[in-house]
Amino acid sequence: MTRRIASYVGLILLSTDAAVAELRVIYDNGQTHALPAHKAAIQQTPTMPSLPSGYDFSRLFPVHTPTLQPGRAVAAHSAEQFKALRRLPGPLFLIGSDTLSLRWLVARREHLIASKAIGFLVEADSLADYQRVLDIAGQELVIVPSSAERLAEVLGLQYYPVLLTRDGLQP
């Protein structure tokens, strides 16, 4: 019995030597970088670039997307739509400054933040409209005033608000 225990202990000791063996470099092409530098960069909290002070943002308005109107978006159904959606860099959402869009934003805000979606304000008459949307969005969501005419054309969209993901449209 003692001999059996001793052999188990011996096996355990032999196996732990392999587990704590030093790192052996198999290949080094000379273009490697120390991991701590990358780790520090990954752990940094990203910051939004600062906007130029004194810029007149009211010049960005009005923003209009003539082919889109407030309403309930229809889920993607054509092969072309799915193909185009697969090329998205990440989740995008389209909203206006109208009441329907603002209610939609309030209802989906946490989901949009969690999915790191980027928003396009596709319909707004003034900087005040944009500010009203930003007040609801908070600091966690990025919303850019921009026409989505080309995007609407490619995806066959007619209505906003809508969330666009690689998996389809979510009204």
123-154 pLDDT tens trace: 999 999 999 999 999 999 999 999 999 989 88
Would residue 161 count as lying in a domain? yes
- Residue 89: burial class (beta carbons within 10 Å; 0-12, 13-18, 19+): exposed
Would residue 39 count as lying in a domain? no
Which of the two residues, 125 and 43, has the higher pLDDT score? Answer: 125
Measured distance CA(18)–CA(28) in Å, rounded: 22
Place of tokens 């009203």: 132
The pLDDT, as a whole number, for residue 56 is 84
Would residue 84 count as lying in a domain? yes
DSSP 3-state assignment of 159?
Answer: strand
**pLDDT, tens only, 46-84:** 555 555 677 788 888 999 999 999 998 876 667 777 788
pTM value > 0.75: no
Would residue 98 count as lying in a domain? yes
Q: How many domains does the chain have?
A: 1
The pLDDT, as a whole number, for residue 3 is 52
Place of tokens 């943002």: 57
Q: Which two tokens stand for residue 39?
A: 């780790």
Measured distance CA(150)–CA(156) in Å, rounded: 10
Q: Residue 93 sits in a domain of what CATH number?
A: 3.40.30
Would residue 107 count as lying in a domain? yes
DSSP secondary structure of 63-130 = B--TT-EESPPPPP-SHHHHHHHHT-SS-EEEEESSHHHHHHHHHHHHHHHHTT-EEEEEEBSSHHHH
Residues of the domain holding 64: 58-170
